[in-house]
Structure 1
Amino acid sequence: MNKRFLRRVSWVGGALALVLAAAVPALADSQFTTTANPISVGPPVRVPNTKPVVVPIITNHAFNGPNPATTSVQLPKGQWSEVVLTVTGSESGRQYDRLCQIWAGGAQIFNGVTPEPTPQGIQWTVKKDVTDYLPELTGNQTFTTAVDNYVSSVDNGVPNISATLSFYPAKGQQSQDPNRWTLPTPTSIVPLANQAGSKTLNAGKTWTTTVTLPDNMVGAYLDLNATAQIGEEFWWDNQPAFREIEISIDGKPAGLVWPFPYIYTGGVNPLIWRPITAIHTLDMPAYEIDLTPFAGMLHGTHTISITVLNNTGYWLMNGSLFLYQKPGAHVTGTVTKDTLKFPTVYSNATSTALNSSSGVSLQNDTASTQYTIQGTINGAGPGPLTATVQGSSTFSNDQTNTGQDYWGLVHGAQYTTLDESLTGPGVNLTRDSQDAYTVDSGSSFYQVSSGFFLPANVTQSLNQEHQTTGFGAPYTSSLYENVQGYGALQEASKNISQGATTGVAMFHDSTGYRYHAFIMARGGSYVVNQVSSRIGRP
């Protein structure tokens, strides 16, 4: 069954609103008599062994409407090796999943989804390394926290949100740990918008903004939050299913994102995500787009444009430019090679199984791209620097949909490699990544006069291999996450709520750090919760 249909059903009202609303009645024949607090299976944020300075941003704020909360916070002075954002929430009642977003000034530092609550109430905690945003985390800063919540007599859940920043002091003159995949802290940050809030990018539209940049840049990245909404929430089950976020500078292709299929805590069937959430749902990381090949020519005023190929609903967009600058330099340069072209050519095919009247359709999408962007940077040292970005991606999506019983099956897969380098006299920096995901789902929707029955299953996987050189000791890391879940929800003369989910996460890196999680839940309760980590020899 097409997941768009699930969302549309949930808007009809009455009993059908329960399809994606939070509270499922806990009856004697239901598994979900209680629900444990939600968690994600991914590895935790690693922090130094120094005592942090903890600063509250917002404390136990009740979001009983769509209005954001604004606070003015005096941030501590010092040299910091790491800054960690901790977001905690509590909620009871019935409510949809809601976006939870935080800005420091005009720079978005957090983008996540709230879990759907239960009548008994739930609590959750999310930690995020926000050291990259240190240029915005100084002095007296205005923070904006938004949970776009709407309350009614039926959907009565009100998220109570708190957030703190923990500043970990550097040892001596040490800054960030170089043995991380994350980029060094930028010199400055330029938000794409002049105030907190996301831009709504409707179907067929482009967001264009103007920025004025300094003339001493030796590196630039776009930190982009792109969040699919309404009909686009299940873009990976739409037709066509291929999505491409296209970034241009002064009308010239500069970077692209083939997005990850985030599944929110009410997605497909809400029972699947109680209490184990889908991959990265509680904290959806921003996409990083390397714009360093353009750094030599970016001084002055320029336009940045963003659009989404095949957008049928709307996306929320927000981003910031991370600038790496050399004091006293006057940098010039040019883009010497750019083979990136928009849009990527893709194939979309539809056929009918059995015969034309069977009502069974098959659809498949495929896409692939390879590109190189290269530029020179002059004036930053004894000789010119060369910045190169080489990308390669493949995408496939296969679906089967039936007619009368609304069965839908989908398998999506994507593999992306990205090689970035900055080379020149005395400089040899590289970042290489291989990212892959799969998403599988089967679901149906049966409706009779007395109610409905919604069975579904979802499997997600994510695999990331990262390597860096030149930022300290050579660094490598490997991450694998997998979540598989089943849910069955019936609202009729006899209510049924069944669900079971298993999550696995494995991470290791060249520092010797190891993390492993194996978590099983059934009927809202944890059956197995095995989590271990250690630091040893690589």
Structure 2
Amino acid sequence: MAASCVHLALLLCLMIPATVASPRRLRESPADASRPTTFFEVDRPLRPPSGSSGPCSTLLLSSSFGSTFAKPPATAAYSPPRCLVAVGGRASAISLAVLEWRAACRGAQLDRIFGVWLGGAELLRGSTAAPPPDGIAWSVSKDVTKYASLLAAGRSTLAVYLGNLVNSTLTGVYRANVTLHLYLCRAPAATRPLPATAPADIVVPVSRALPSNGGGLWHQIRSADDVQSTSVALPSNTYRAVLELYVSSHGDDESWYTNQPGYRNGPFREVTVRVDGVLAGVAWPFPVIYPGGIYPLLWRPIAPIGSFNLPTYDVELTPLLGKLLDGKAHELGFAVTNALDAWYVGANLHLWLDPGSTATTAGLTSYVAPAANATSSQSGDPVDTHHHATASRLFSAAGWVASSYGNITTNATQTFGLEYTLTFETLDRTTVARAGVSAADHAGDVLYSVQARRSSPLGWLYEQGRLTVTHGLDETTVAAGGWWTGPGYRSLRTTQSSVVEDEEGGGKSWGVRQVYRYEATGGCYFRNVTSSGYGIVSDHSNEVCVKGTSSGGGAVSVSAAGAAS
């Protein structure tokens, strides 16, 4: 087998039955074939703060998506819900906002990407599931409180794009409802909102504008040399700016994270953000596996981590405000290192405005942005070649802003690292990303500090007709400072071990075990769920915080190329 096709050969071993096998049989276990199977992504329930009223629920859009690929998005007029209008339409009255996507599909179909936008700002991006012929149903609930200013802003347009194809083989039509659930503060909000760390005063879309000739409102990156940009002018009294990135990979780059060095531009990708062509920050994408990815049976009915609700990435632009606060429009550009066709990249610019002045001034004090460092090698063994790759990146900037809050100096730092090893039977890769933002006043007192770490291990082991894929996310955020009012500590650790193996007679059996632990100042959530075929065989959860221990049970040991134990 040629070295450039190692991971393709592994999948072929799974897909081609032995010569003595009967036609492939899939074990399907829904008790009632007339009812669709419920798929789900494990996530924590969203709870409003104590003292909240609600929910006040509003159906925003109901639509069917048949032959919609490259067609304009479905749209609906949006106005702030009556319950929000009744309290003066104040964004600060929203204690929790939840966007719910609820969908179903009957008939054979592939997994498809979808996006939801309000006023051009992206609120949700996700993948559909790859349904069995009996059909599926699933839902996603996303905390969208940080878009409170958009939800309260007035009349706008909600847009939903789901690019689907229907033909004689793929007959499934996706039917979806999008609903907004609002919880409101019972006590009157402060006349002057807490600065910098409350939801932004305005959210500016950095995307393609409606009406669209077809497709989503995201930018399409088609190669490593492709740079897509949007022109944006900032209000003159901006004192903090954070760019929120939405990213997804498709086509030739859908499974970029498994690429061996020298094949399809290798396993390293990064999204770069540029201001007028100058690097302003970086995001290393979490390796989202779509529900049909690697091998579809691995993800039925428990979806891969992050697939129904894709993660977003924040890039702190505050240190660069000196360049942006000149009253002129500036180009915010996006590129993807080593990209193949295609990546969908969109962004929202979250801006905090100084209520005590009509104009702020700013300047850059330090800027460090060396090129990313990537290496690769392989062993000389022609039978069992080992491929190894590493990558690292540092970006750091600091700047000051003079406002009615005083002179604020903001430091933003990002560091990244990748370790990757591939053999014929195993894949083992881990990406670690660290980001720190700290703002201090002229006396050096910390106003807010947020330090975050994200680790994302991914691996597989294939032996004797059995494929085990392990996938994980471990992220921790520690926050503090005089302006910080949210949880001071948040931790999420989730591990997924998915197995598919050959059965006598040529069929396949499969199952998933996922352990999910969320701990934060003020609340915890634990879930341990196991599936076999389409059925759930065990499911345990609780919201009990145990001091000094992980919430909800014993530890789960997962090796990057082995099963949960």
TM-score normalized with structure 1 length: 0.86
Report the 3-state secondary structure (helix = DSSP H, G, I; strand = E; otherwise coil) of the residue aligned with 2:379: strand
The residue that corresponds to 1:459 in the other structure is 470
* Cα gap change, 1:2 to 1:378, in 2 (>3 Å): farther
The residue that corresponds to 1:531 in the other structure is 541
Distance 1:162 1:410 in 2: 38
Q: CA deviation at 1:427?
A: 5.8
The residue that corresponds to 1:89 in the other structure is 103
* Cα gap change, 1:163 to 1:235, in 2 (>3 Å): same
**AA at the equivalent of 1:206:** V
Give me the CA root mean square deviation.
3.0
Deviations 1:289-321 (A, max 9, x none): 111111243123211221111112310111111
The residue that corresponds to 2:525 in the other structure is 515
Q: CA deviation at 1:40?
A: 1.6
**AA at the equivalent of 2:389:** D
**AA at the equivalent of 2:348:** S
Distance 1:104 1:4 in 2: 40
Distance 1:341 1:189 in 2: 30
**1:289 counterpart (309, 315, 324):** 315
The residue that corresponds to 2:78 in the other structure is 73
Distance 1:148 1:455 in 2: 33
**Contact 2:239–2:403 at 8 Å: present in 1 too?**
no
**2:223 counterpart (183, 192, 203):** 203
Listed as ranges, the matches of 1:181-192 within 5 Å are 184-192=198-206
Distance 1:159 1:2 in 2: 35
Distance 1:460 1:388 in 2: 32
**1:393 counterpart (416, 434, 452):** 416
Distance 2:106 2:465 in 1: 24
Distance 2:174 2:149 in 1: 30
Q: Which deviates more, 208-217 or 261-270?
A: 208-217
**AA at the equivalent of 2:528:** F
Distance 2:177 2:480 in 1: 38
**Contact 1:105–1:195 at 8 Å: present in 2 too?**
no
**AA at the equivalent of 2:116:** I
Distance 1:173 1:290 in 2: 31
Listed as ranges, the matches of 1:212-227 within 5 Å are 212-227=233-248
Query: Are residues 1:475 and 2:471 paired?
Result: no
The residue that corresponds to 1:331 in the other structure is 360
The residue that corresponds to 1:159 in the other structure is 174
**Contact 2:65–2:162 at 8 Å: present in 1 too?**
no
The residue that corresponds to 2:47 in the other structure is 46
**Contact 1:75–1:141 at 8 Å: present in 2 too?**
no
Q: Which deviates more, 464-473 or 226-235?
A: 464-473
Q: Which deviates more, 419-428 or 98-107?
A: 419-428
**Contact 1:245–1:258 at 8 Å: present in 2 too?**
yes
The residue that corresponds to 1:340 in the other structure is 369
Which structure 2 segments of 5+ residues have no match? 31-35, 211-216, 549-565
**AA at the equivalent of 1:424:** D
The size of the alignment, in residue pairs, is 499
Distance 1:193 1:8 in 2: 39
Q: CA deviation at 1:126?
A: 0.6
Q: Which deviates more, 204-213 or 55-64?
A: 55-64
Report the 3-state secondary structure (helix = DSSP H, G, I; strand = E; otherwise coil) of the residue aligned with 1:213: coil
Q: Which deviates more, 263-272 or 162-171?
A: 162-171
Highest relative contact order (Cα 8 Å, sep 6+), 1 or 2?
A: 1
* Cα gap change, 1:223 to 1:38, in 2 (>3 Å): same
**Contact 1:217–1:296 at 8 Å: present in 2 too?**
no
Deviations 1:255-279 (A, max 9, x none): 0011100000000111110011111
Report the 3-state secondary structure (helix = DSSP H, G, I; strand = E; otherwise coil) of the residue aligned with 1:236: helix
More strand by share: 1
Query: Are residues 1:228 and 2:241 paired?
Result: no
Deviations 1:143-174 (A, max 9, x none): 11111100111111111111101121122234
Deviations 1:384-441 (A, max 9, x none): 210101222221111113xxxxxx5211101122110111147611111111110002
**Contact 2:48–2:95 at 8 Å: present in 1 too?**
no
Report the 3-state secondary structure (helix = DSSP H, G, I; strand = E; otherwise coil) of the residue aligned with 1:168: strand
**AA at the equivalent of 1:318:** G
Query: Are residues 1:118 and 2:121 paired?
Result: no
Distance 1:151 1:495 in 2: 30
The residue that corresponds to 2:324 in the other structure is 298
Which structure 1 segments of 5+ residues have no match? 19-24, 402-407, 445-452
Structure 1 residue ranges (4+ consecutive) displaced by more than 4 angstroms after TM superposition: 1-10, 535-538
The residue that corresponds to 1:264 in the other structure is 290
The residue that corresponds to 1:362 in the other structure is 386
* Cα gap change, 1:230 to 1:220, in 2 (>3 Å): same
